[in-house]
Structure 1
């Protein structure tokens, strides 16, 4: 969905963000016209911004198109928080994959969305559409519900105050139903998703909490509906996140991630 002329940001930073954000996971390069279509910006504006981004190596010219440049990847590799979270959770994620055979995700919340920062693909050979750096609406995923269940009430109310986008056949699109679901997640310590993010996909997820109870990330085990045994996977995820939460409570430095 591209922005309309009415909601295109006025600031230069906002417009640069739109241009860089136009690139999807399967886009090696994009033409100026396609970027303009995806962003809602005028072609002349996209052309001017792209020229400057090329000068500073955030984009590279490829014939009549452009692609993401080396500076983007250099800056991404320097981001500390994802590295620290991976270091904290990777062994636990590997144990979960070994125990279940399914794909294990590590995600954080950014606004109304979750961002996947590590994925260990399952030994079951099933390819899920998720990718590192990919985003999904928080309300439509197991990891998102796990994070929202422990989030500040103001954060939850801000998300519930806007329409909840339908992503899969069983996405929660009712604010009242989602409130009940988040209360259940808090009560049971694990979030289950069945065809809420996409048709045929299910998962069990748990939150990784800071010492003060604030959620910092979430882990999920995901796979095809009918193949993943949620009654077995749920307790495994819950035990894994409880172990990480105990580790964090015993080491206050970890709460700073």
Structure 2
């Protein structure tokens, strides 16, 4: 084994692979070698050599001269507890909620100051402005984030609201005081609301999902055109779906 091969088989190689994987996101699903080099920050020769190795491992694919995430990573990701346990427990209730509302439903978990979208059902009403499964959205200005933060430890809330809170639309709440006020209203009514703070014309209602110890683990939501999202009408259905999902998830743990 050459020094280069030994280096790439250790921590250095893993760091390079992580940098290459980090170059992909919802808006960069396929990349040329030049684009991959620009986004991962590695030298061209290193990027090419590491990417070729990742293709052999199934971590990347390269149809038509462009790199993309390989199927092997999808297979591995499907084994993560968040997919095998949480998603499988909640999915029937997401399907019921979508059937009842005919509007996009989502499942999300808190990761740092972001919400990771774990599952999404859109049906025939496509909403391309929303994050896809595996995408992230800010927790402070999303109903999914607020539904989770409302039941989180003060330290978690503080860490999310301590950083920059940029306005994504003219309606985005960017004051930590105003956001905390929103959070305090969630437990009483049972759902969180976001009105065109992420995308103009789009509103969302979300409710928390709890684990067997009573700790908040996720949230589910209904998201759609503002004219169809009446929190007073949709909120109770979202809350009931989240409550049923909580029982199913806790039972399976």
> For the residues of structure 2 that align with 1:49 and 1:172, how far apart are their CA atoms?
43
Given that 2:89 and 2:249 are in contact with CA atoms closer than 8 Å, whether structure 1 keeps it comes out as: no
> For the residues of structure 2 that align with 1:74 and 1:154, how far apart are their CA atoms?
35
Per-residue deviation, 1:75: 0.9
> For the residues of structure 2 that align with 1:183 and 1:40, how far apart are their CA atoms?
43
1:78 matches 2:114: no
**Cα-to-partner distance string for 1:66-111 (whole Å, 9 max, x where unaligned):** 2222321221232233132222222222221222221111111122
Which residue pairs with 2:201 in the alignment? 200
TM-score with structure 1 setting the length: 0.83
TM-score with structure 2 setting the length: 0.84
Higher relative CO (Cα under 8 Å, sequence separation at least 6) belongs to: 2
Per-residue deviation, 1:243: 3.1
Which residue pairs with 2:186 in the alignment? 185
* Structure 1: 5+ residue stretches without partners: 1-9
Which residue pairs with 2:169 in the alignment? 168
Per-residue deviation, 1:27: 4.6
Task: From the superposition, tell whether residues 213 and 170 of structure 1 become closer, same or farther in structure 2 (CA, over 3 Å).
Answer: farther
Per-residue deviation, 1:212: 2.8
> For the residues of structure 1 that align with 2:64 and 2:237, how far apart are their CA atoms?
51
Q: Say how many residue pairs are matched.
A: 242
Please identify, of 106-115 and 165-174, the stretch whose mean Cα deviation from structure 2 is larger: 165-174
Given that 2:86 and 2:249 are in contact with CA atoms closer than 8 Å, whether structure 1 keeps it comes out as: no
Given that 1:203 and 1:220 are in contact with CA atoms closer than 8 Å, whether structure 2 keeps it comes out as: yes
3-state secondary structure, aligned to 1:140: coil
- Superposed counterparts of 1:124-135, under 5 Å: 125-128=125-128, 129-135=130-136
> For the residues of structure 1 that align with 2:167 and 2:40, how far apart are their CA atoms?
22
> For the residues of structure 1 that align with 2:85 and 2:242, how far apart are their CA atoms?
16
Task: From the superposition, tell whether residues 102 and 113 of structure 1 become closer, same or farther in structure 2 (CA, over 3 Å).
Answer: same
- Give RMSD over aligned pairs: 2.4
Please identify, of 42-51 and 67-76, the stretch whose mean Cα deviation from structure 2 is larger: 42-51
> For the residues of structure 1 that align with 2:12 and 2:112, how far apart are their CA atoms?
20
> For the residues of structure 2 that align with 1:126 and 1:66, how far apart are their CA atoms?
27
> For the residues of structure 2 that align with 1:72 and 1:87, how far apart are their CA atoms?
19
Please identify, of 125-134 and 136-145, the stretch whose mean Cα deviation from structure 2 is larger: 125-134
**Cα-to-partner distance string for 1:222-253 (whole Å, 9 max, x where unaligned):** 1001222222001111122233335556x3xx
Per-residue deviation, 1:26: 5.4
Task: From the superposition, tell whether residues 92 and 70 of structure 1 become closer, same or farther in structure 2 (CA, over 3 Å).
Answer: closer
